[in-house]
């Protein structure tokens, strides 16, 4: 009980400081915020070797603990990945500042003007697992959008997150960042998450990013609104009108480029009219890439050496070099399968028929639909957002990849001249 009280008090103090900082950040001009971000980017660059050193400690511990290869991949930082984090910050600097943007403006019959403007949400708490890059991405996006942030990473990345948070904090303060703007909860005690979820008087939004178990726990216990980054059970549908070479290129990329990512393809749907032509070629390439294939009966009739897919396979996000394959009889069957088993994350169709593409895009329920493109492209940096704080698979208040605009809300400002209502 004593330890719980200590953790609760520690989290509360961080939340109070973040709330205070959020009031200053909300009024901070764009140039000041960009100077802070620039200082953070430069300091991360200068400390690349130290970041890699601390990350290696986490990786060694993860290997010893026999954590899955997919999780280790998400945990791992390389010089290239650090460079990409830094590039993300620099890209954010060049983005338009959303705060103060006028979305609507009307003159009313009551002789006063009404405008709707973007304003920061206030204090955001990011609760995440494995990915140390989230520490940097979340801090940068929150600062640009005028929000304070409380970061709670997973125990598997504790050393990586600590050094990144320390660099962000110290570099930001030197550049004029209000104290408390970026808070990191550095305990591995899971009680800290429970304490964060109680603080609805100080925290305005929770963004969980991790396993289904983590997200479910937060949804069941939070007093604070949640914007969830759900699982990515993504599909690619190869239509009968597809260009075969294009379909092969996209299907291999969507599965193999980085299978641990949430936007990697988990199920490949192929129209029966093209299956005999394309599946043998795909089988050869997937075999070369060590992808384990699981197929429906029709798939096995073409490639009898693949495993039989079960209903559990259609429901599984593998995070691995595994792929389910189903041959469908029609576009309607493909759409039905996606809407039944998909996680509303990222879905793709390969076709040269514009009407078919438009029907798929309209009827599939997903945050992003790709036409003749890989699902691996659903990413903040690719979409021109600098980086992302997550990919929302829900519909309120944001959906899909979330950048600075998605970290704001709106405020009406009404201006009159002694105007009253009769």
Q: What is the pLDDT of residue 96?
A: 97
Res. 110: pLDDT tops 80: no
Q: What is the mean pLDDT of residues 131-147?
A: 97
**Residue 305: pLDDT band with limits 50, 70, 90:** very high
User: What's the CATH number for 2-227+402-415?
Assistant: 3.40.605.10
pTM: predicted TM-score of the whole model, two decimal places: 0.94
Chosen CATH of 234-377 out of 3.40.50.300, 1.10.8.10, 3.30.565.10, 3.40.309.10: 3.40.309.10
Is the bond into 397 cis (omega within 30 degrees of 0)?
yes
Q: What is the mean pLDDT of residues 101-105?
A: 96
- Domain range list for the chain: 2-227+402-415, 234-377
**Residue 159: pLDDT band with limits 50, 70, 90:** very high
Res. 27: pLDDT tops 80: yes
Res. 295: pLDDT tops 80: yes
Q: What is the pLDDT of residue 403?
A: 96
Q: What is the pLDDT of residue 2?
A: 63
State the virtual CA torsion across 131, 132, 133, 138 in degrees, nearest 10. Answer: 100
Average pLDDT, the chain: 96
pLDDT tens profile 253-278: 999 999 999 999 999 999 999 999 99
Res. 130: pLDDT tops 80: yes
Res. 340: pLDDT tops 80: yes
Res. 1: pLDDT tops 60: no
Q: How far is residue 272 from each of residues 255, 301, 374, measured CA to CA in Å?
A: 21, 12, 21
């Amino acid at each position: 009980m004593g330890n719980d009280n200590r953790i609760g008090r520690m989290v509360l103090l961080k939340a109070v400081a973040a709330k205070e900082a959020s009031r200053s950040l909300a009024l901070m001009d764009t140039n000041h915020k960009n100077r802070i971000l620039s200082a953070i980017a430069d300091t991360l660059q200068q400390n690349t070797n130290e970041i890699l050193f601390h990350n290696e400690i986490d990786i060694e511990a993860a290997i010893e603990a026999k954590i899955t290869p997919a999780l280790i991949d998400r945990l791992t930082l390389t010089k290239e990945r650090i460079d990409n984090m830094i590039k993300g910050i620099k890209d954010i600097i060049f983005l338009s500042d959303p705060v103060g943007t006028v979305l609507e403006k009307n003159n009313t019959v009551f002789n006063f003007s009404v405008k709707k403007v973007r304003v920061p949400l206030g204090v955001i708490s990011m609760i995440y697992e494995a990915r140390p890059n989230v520490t940097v991405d979340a801090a940068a996006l929150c600062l640009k959008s005028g929000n304070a942030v409380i970061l709670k990473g997973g125990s598997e990345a504790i050393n990586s997150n600590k050094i990144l948070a320390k660099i962000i904090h110290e570099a930001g303060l030197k550049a004029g960042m209000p104290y408390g703007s970026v808070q990191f909860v550095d305990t591995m005690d899971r009680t800290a998450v429970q304490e964060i979820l109680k603080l609805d008087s100080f925290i305005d939004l929770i963004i969980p990013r991790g396993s289904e178990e983590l997200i479910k726990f937060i949804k069941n216990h939070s007093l604070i609104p949640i914007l969830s980054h759900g699982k990515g059970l993504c599909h690619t549908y190869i239509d009968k009108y597809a260009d075969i070479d294009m379909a092969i290129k996209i299907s291999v990329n969507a599965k193999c480029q980085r299978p641990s990512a949430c936007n990697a393809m988990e199920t490949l749907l192929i129209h029966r009219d093209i299956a005999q032509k394309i599946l043998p070629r795909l089988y050869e390439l997937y075999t070369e890439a060590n992808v384990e294939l699981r197929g429906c009966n029709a798939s096995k009739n073409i490639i009898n050496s693949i495993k039989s897919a079960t209903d559990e396979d259609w429901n599984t996000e593998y995070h691995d070099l595994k792929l389910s394959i189903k041959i469908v009889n029609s576009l309607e069957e493909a759409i039905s399968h996606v809407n039944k088993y998909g996680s509303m994350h990222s879905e793709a169709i390969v076709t040269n028929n514009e009407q078919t593409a438009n029907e798929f895009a309209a009827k599939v329920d997903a945050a992003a639909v790709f036409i003749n493109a890989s699902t691996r492209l659903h990413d903040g940096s690719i979409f021109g957002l600098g980086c992302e704080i997550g990919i929302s698979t829900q519909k309120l208040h944001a959906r899909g990849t979330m950048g600075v605009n998605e970290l704001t809300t709106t405020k009406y400002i009404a201006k009159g001249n002694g105007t009253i209502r009769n």
